[in-house]
Every structure is written in C-alpha cells, then in structure tokens.
Structure 1
Amino acid sequence: MSLAPALSTEPPRFERHPRAHRIASDAEAIAVARELAAEFAVEASARDRERRLPAAELDRFSSSGLWGITVPKAYGGAAVSFATLGEVIATISAADPSLGQIPQNHLAALDAIRVTASEAQKRLWFGRVLDGYRLGNAFSEAGSKHVGAFETTVRRDGEGYVVNGEKFYATGALFAHFIHIGAVDEEGNVHLAIAPSDAPGLAVIDNWSSFGQRTTASGNVTIRDVRIGPEALIPAYRGGVEPSSNGSVSQLIQAAVDLGIARGAIADTIRFVREKARPWIDSGQDHAHQDVFTISAIGDLHVRLHTAEALLERAGRAIDAILDQPSEVAVAETAVAVAAAKVATTETAILAADRLHELGGTRSTLAAENLDRHWRNARTHTLHDPVRWKYFHVGNHALNGIAPPRHAWS
C-alpha cells in the first residue's frame, strides 16, 4: 500500500474576483511577509502530510499585495528592491516552501512583461496583478529534449492567436486566474500566451506526485485550440535576445525558496535538539544542547545560512542595478552573482535538512514529527536548477571571461 497522500480530485476553490491591498514600500512588504509567515506556519506540516492544497492561504497571500510588489511605480506598484523580494520569498518559504514557490513563475512573468511587453500590455497586466489576480505557469514540458525546448505552438488566427500543446511542472496553474503558456511561433521564438484559466480547451490536471513540495500541485496543463487576443501574447524571447534581468530574476526567486527551506530546517533542528533529542552517551552531558559536537554543528549551519543570506541580498542588489540599463557586462556579472547565491542556498538547504536528523537522532524520523518534509522539500526544489552548472558558469566567467547563457534557468 502506498503511503503517499492522495491526489486531489476536486479543483481548489479560490476567490475569482480578488481585491488586493497595495503595498507602498520595502519595509511594508517585509512586515506583511512576516505576519503571513507566522499564520502559514501553523498548519504547514499538516498541509504537507495530508496534501491539503493551500487555496485559502494563496488568497490571503495574493490579497496582501505581495504578488504585486515588483510592479514598476509608473504603473502603480511599489517597485521594491529585488533584495526585498528575495527576503519576502525566503520568509514565506521558511514557513511553507510550497507557498513560497507558487508565486515564482508569476513574479518571473511580471519581469518578462516589464522588459518585453508593449505599453498597453503593461497597463493591462500590471493593473490586473495589482488588483490581486494571479498568473500560473505552463512553461516546461516533460517530453521535450531538454527544459528549454518547446513543442507547444502559437499561431495567428484572424485577429487573434491559437495555442496548442501540453505542459508539466505547471506550478501555480491550478490556483491561477490566468495561465501564461510558453509557446513557440513559426520562427521558433518563445512567447508567453496568457489565457484565462477557464478558457475553452485549457485543462489543468492535478497529478503532481513528487515526495516534496507536495502542495504546489505542479502537474499537467493541456492546451487544445486555446484562443487568445493580441493583448495576451507577450514576446518573452526578447528578454534573452537582448541583455535583461529576466533570467536572474527567475533564479533569484528559486534561490530564495531554498534559503527559506534552510531557515525552516535550522529552526526545527534547534527546537528539536532543545526539547526532544538526547545527548550521546559519550558526551557526559545531561542534555543534547550541551553536546559540544552538536553545538559546533549548529554554529556551522548558522555561518552557512548567513553566508547564503548575504549572497542572496547581494544578488538582489545586482539585479536592481541592471533594471534600467542592462548592459552585456553588467547582466553577465549579475547572473554570476545570482548563481553564487543559488549554490549557497541549495547546499545550505540540503545540509540543514540532513543535519536535522543527524542531531535530532532517530526519534526525529518518526512520522508524527513529519520533520522529513524539510529534506523532501529541499531535495525536490533544488533539482530545478542544478548547482553543478552554477559552479561551471561562475568559474567560466572568472577564468575565461565567458558570460552565462541568458535563459530562465541560468
């Protein structure tokens, strides 16, 4: 008998006509994130254990205004620092990394719109996002040659366009008001085709069965003759043809999720060691938190965590600096800075989740504790962008002056 939680058979119910608060500053964004994280942490373990989809929590999350904080000021947004965005996502992810991951593609799409959309498209989509509407992802395809290859097509049909294909790893689509579909035109250029989630021919299938990030519902989307208007076709490929912030923004958010996982795992390690773990027989101590090797291991984790935090903040500031003048040199240096942050957050998340059980002992593995969710989430989410290639791009830039490639995974 499988111990995996059952997949949902009913689509989640969420607010279809939202109204969102408008956040005005970086300080407000961080304060709101901390308040929400405290709420989301309460039942995070139960949601993971039961695979209870967080539709109500997402309504609370997006109505708070946090999903619109990167919208430029010219269009009514706060245009917060990307260092602030990283801290917001890490804060939410420390409480529940599935909730932290779900807006990733929404936020990445906003940067693609900022860089490549027309003025009319920016007014339309930024306005909808500030009202509280969520964008869901239909980008990667399970059966293509590699993650950046697309077989989904968009073709002109009269005054509009028709989209056909099938997607997987569609994080956020099940909870979205609109779904942005990665589709190629006749020339092979990738566009974002944005369709209402209830558009005829569009189906979101909740068949996500990973052992980690269970409540992201990152399953399939099928697209059968889905029609969109010209206002909904965003020429996202331009963000890679010319230097831009697009790839770095996408990667920064992924790194922030991993930082949050690390924070959550370390916090639970400290709590468990102090409350439930026993000292090793050879330590001569009465309590686990007095064990010198345990104390040293916690110190090591904190140093690694603070290093990852500093690198993520540095990467966010680097993105801020290229938003208005994204030169070839500056964009490459920013991509390297983000890659370094991704290495640090990935390795700290996995190590922290593993050390939790090492320091907590066998009782930390009991099902009632559900502490293995930290490792499951870290291992699952960090597979998104393998750090073996981050090391290569950082080294190749330092040694040979070669810039990392420009795409959403670099």
Structure 2
Amino acid sequence: MSLSTASAISSTPAARRIASDQEALDIARTLAAEFARGASQRDRDRQLPWTELEKLAASGLLAITVPREYGGIDVSAATLGEVSAILAEADSSIGQIPQNHFYILEALRVDGTEAQKRFFFGRALAGDQFGNALSEIGTKNVGQQNTKIEPDGDSFRINGRKFYSTGVLFADWIVVFANDPEGRTTMSFLPHDAEGLTVLDDWSGFGQRTTGSGTTIVDNVRVDKDSIVEHQKGFDRPTTIGSLGQIIHAGIDLGIARAALAETLDFVRNRARPWSDAGVERASDDPLTISIVGSLAIRLDAASALLAEAGRKVDTARRSLAEPDVIAATIAVAGAKVLTTEVALAATNALFELSGTRSTLIEENLDRHWRNARTHTLHDPVRWKYHVVGNWVLNQVAPPRNGAL
C-alpha cells in the first residue's frame, strides 16, 4: 500500500478541530466525567471501551499534537500530560491507550518525510487512531526485538510477533517496530486490516485490563517504502521523542493517584468507621488519618507541579533541539515519572489503609486503582530514573537516548 492509494483505507468520520490548549483541557474534562461512570464495570467485566474510544477520536483530542504547519494546534507538553492525567483519573486504561498514538505522532514529526507527515497527520486530524506493535518477550532484554523488515523487490516484508501492543484493537493504523538488515529500528504504518496482520485480544494483566494490549502477529506483511519511518534516526541525535512519550506515562500515573485519593476521601467521609483508640466520632476526625491524607495531598501537588515544569522543559527542547535543553527535559521528565509513580502506589495503598476492611469487598472494586497503578508503573523501572538523575547531577553523565527516557 502506498500513500497515494491509502486515502480510502479509513472510514473514520471527521473529528472535531480543537482550537486551543484550554479547549483541549475542557474537552478532556467533559469526556472524563462521562468515562468515569462506567469505568468500574468495564474493569470488573473486562468490557473493552469501544464506544468511549470512538468518542475520544471524534472529540479531536487525538490530534492535539499535530504541528501547526500541518493543520493542528501542537499543544504544550504540559497540556498533553494533564490531558492524560484527566483521562486516566476517569479510567486509566483509556488514559493509557493514546500514549503510543502520541509517541508515534512525535516520532513522525521528528523523522517522517514530508509526504508521510502530510498524510498521517491528516489522518490524525480526521480522527484516526494509531496503535503500536513494539515490545516483545523472549529477548535478552526489553530493548531488543526479533521482528525484522527486509527488502522484497520494490517493497518490504515484515515478520515477527509482538506481545505488548497497547491500543491495537482500537487502531485504524498499526505501527510495527522492526529491525532492518543493518539492525536499525524502523516504524511501518500498516492499515489494521493489512494482509498477514493478526491482532489477538489476549492481554491478561491483572491491571489496565481494557487497554487492548494484545499480541500482534506480523506474518510476511508487505509494506511500501513510503510507509516506513527510520525511527533509529530519532535517537542518533538529540530529540524529544522519549521525553514526550514519558511525560504521558507520568500523567497516567498522576491520574490514577488522583482517582485513588478521591475514592479515599469519599470513603473516609461517608462510610469508614474510626479506630476505637482515636477517641473521635468520625473517621475523618482521626488525627492519624488526617496526617496521611495531608501527606498524600502534598505529594500529589508536588507531582503535578513537576509534571508541568517538565512539560515546559520539553517544549523548550522541542524548539531548540540543543543537547543541553534535551538533557534538561529528559532529567525533568524522569523526576516527574518518579514522583507520579510513587504517589500512585502510595495513594492506592492508603485507600485501603484508611478506608478499612469494607473497602476490600469485591463489589466495591476499589482494588482496580491499586491493580492499575501497580501494572502501569511497571512500564519502565523507576529505579533507573533515580540512576539517570543522580548520574547527571553527580557526574554530568548524559542520560541515554531511548524511548524510555
């Protein structure tokens, strides 16, 4: 399939055109209020959010990072992180699904050809969704992949199997990451119904249960040269591909933490009983409970502030592409990811500690917040974020260039 013949692939109706960062935030809040109402049931019954993803696509939010020269508004990285947090607070699976979509659009912006940008940014503006086929199992480390792309006459063929494919079930385009014969990473944009492409709904994680993160099987799939982006180039020089992708992950964890704290406040105020030794009539008057809530609120505010500051540094780096600015953005985003991870885990644990045994009842399904936090925060190890920040501060060792930083 060539770009000249691909225009008929998607039947996605025209999406709304969002005009400003503030409008994007307002739309995200409106959608979040709707998505939150069914989030617990979707998690409990593993009901995939097909309708919700259609509304998300129609809202125009999936196009908010399209550059202005291609018809978009290119929202700030801080806005993108906050939109992710707003959606994740309502339903963390829905918050995570577009992460790879936005990562792909950023990689396209950095290394796509003009023809690729015109076409695929146009599809994003129309409401098309991009899903990733990236991570594999059975390799020596998580950064390796066995999927290969090789020349085949005037086109190419891809073969491989991807284990984590967040959002592919809902995607109009599946972007397959594969190594070329020189071992360099490429991205291939494939229509979801490409011959030889099979997506399995087999994600069985105990959290983030409705992200559509199934297996993608790529069996001798043909792809034209003009649908391939040389993704490796984005890490051969200073870029913001990794930091933009990571700030969305931080936003997702922040949203989970906010949801858990909100559930805690509701339960403690309205249903929890005070401990007998507290000497108070209401659980919300227990001084130890008050102290823990205060600690969580402070940490949430700190995480939100660092996420916003990291976003500003990413925007500076995207404009300049100067190595010092890119490093500053990477370090700030790593710090934001540390704080959002830690507060998400702390808030989801405190939900049960402060609410009591009743909060563990299956019918409450409050454990979904902990399950979601524990699952999503495993995306990349926070222990290495500490190392990256410390090595820079102490030894001025620049962080590695990869999609996880």
TM-score, length basis structure 1: 0.95
Separation in 1, partners of 2:140, 2:105: 27
> Which residue is equivalent to 2:256?
261
- Within the alignment, does 1:372 sit opposite 2:361 as a pair? no
Question: Distance between the aligned counterparts of 1:256 and 1:169, measured in 2?
Answer: 20
Pairs within 5 Å for 1:336-375: 336-375=331-370
Residues 162-219 of structure 1: CA deviation (Å, up to 9, x unaligned): 1110001100011100000000101111010110111010000011111000001212
**1:212 and 1:377 in contact (8 A); partners too:** yes
Q: Which residue of 2 aligns with 1:289?
A: 284
Secondary structure of 2:255's counterpart equals helix
Q: CA deviation at 1:16?
A: 4.5
1:204 maps to: 199
Aligned match of 2:116: 121
Query: SS in structure 2 opposite 1:166?
Result: strand
Amino acid at match of 2:148: T
Q: Say whether 1:67 aligns with 2:62.
A: yes
Q: Which residue of 2 aligns with 1:150?
A: 145
Task: Quote the Cα distance in structure 1 between the aligned partners of 2:357 and 2:95.
Answer: 29
Superposition map of 1:154-165 within 5 A: 154-165=149-160
Give the Cα–Cα distance (whole angstroms) in 1 for the partners of residues 276 and 256 of structure 2: 31
**Alpha-carbon distance in structure 1 between the residues aligned to 2:404 and 2:374:** 17
Matched, 1:97 2:92: yes
Which letter does structure 1 place at the counterpart of 2:336? A
Match of 2:7 in 1: none
Q: Which residue in the other structure is 2:4 paired with?
A: none
Aligned to 1:83, which of 78, 81, 85? 78
**Which residue number in structure 2 is paired with residue 10 of structure 1?**
none
Supply the distance in 1 between the matched residues of 2:12 and 2:246 (Cα, whole angstroms): 30
Q: 1:138 aligns with which of 125, 129, 133?
A: 133
Which residue number corresponds to residue 305 of structure 1?
A: 300
Distance 2:140 2:130 in 1: 26
Which position in structure 2 is the counterpart of 1:316?
A: 311
Displacement of 1:37: 0.3
> 1:321-340 maps to which residues of 2 (within 5 A)?
321-340=316-335
The CA distance in 2 between the partners of 1:189 and 1:343, in whole Å, is 30
Which residue in the other structure is 2:377 paired with? 382
Q: Give the Cα separation in 1 of the matches to 2:12 and 2:255.
A: 30
Hey, what's the Cα distance between the residues in 2 that align with 1:62 and 1:17? 9
CA distance in 1, matches of 2:350, 2:206: 19
Give 2:389's match in structure 1, choosing from 380, 391, 394: 394
Partner of 1:169: 164
Considering only aligned residues, what root-mean-square deviation do their CA atoms show, in Å? 0.9
Residue equivalent to 1:47: 42
**How many angstroms apart in 1 are the aligned matches of 2:80 and 2:16?**
17
Instruction: Name the CA distance, whole Å, in 1 between partners of 2:284 and 2:145.
Output: 52
Structure 2 residue identity aligned to 1:120: A
**Match for 1:70: what amino acid?**
T
1:215 matched to 2:236: no
Please tell me the residue identity of whatever aligns with 1:39: E
Contact 1:16 1:177 in 2 (8 A): no
How much does 1:157 deviate? Answer: 1.8
Pairwise CA distance, 1:135: 0.4
SS at match of 1:168: strand
Query: Aligned partners of 2:210, 2:91: CA distance in 1, in Å?
Result: 10
- Is 2:182 the partner of 1:179? no
Give the 3-state SS of the residue equivalent to 2:281 in structure 1: coil
Q: Deviations over 1:331-365 (max 9, x none)?
A: 11111000000000000000000000000000000
SS in 1 for 2:176: strand
Aligned length: 396
5+ residue gaps in structure 1?
A: 1-14
Report the equivalent of 1:108.
103
Unaligned stretches of 5+ residues in structure 2: 1-9
Q: 2: distance between equivalents of 1:144 and 1:253?
A: 26
1:226 is matched with 221
Aligned partner of residue 165 in structure 2, secondary structure: coil
Q: Hey, what's the Cα distance between the residues in 1 that align with 2:63 and 2:218?
A: 27
**What is the alpha-carbon distance in structure 2 between the residues aligned to residue 285 and residue 187 of structure 1?**
69
Aligned to 2:404: 409
**Cα deviation 1:114-145 (Å, max 9, x = unaligned):** 00011111001100011000001100111111
AA in 2 matched with 1:212? G
C-alpha separation in 2, matches of 1:258 and 1:80: 20
Cα deviations by residue, 1:36-60 (Å, 9 ceiling, x for unpaired):
0000000100000000000110000
Alpha-carbon deviation of 1:230? 1.9
The share of aligned pairs that are identical, in percent, is: 54
Task: Give runs of ≥4 in structure 1 deviating > 3 Å.
Answer: none
Q: 1:17 offset after TM fit, Å?
A: 2.3
Where 2:210 maps in the other structure, the secondary structure is helix
Normalised to the residue count of structure 2, the TM-score between the two structures is 0.97
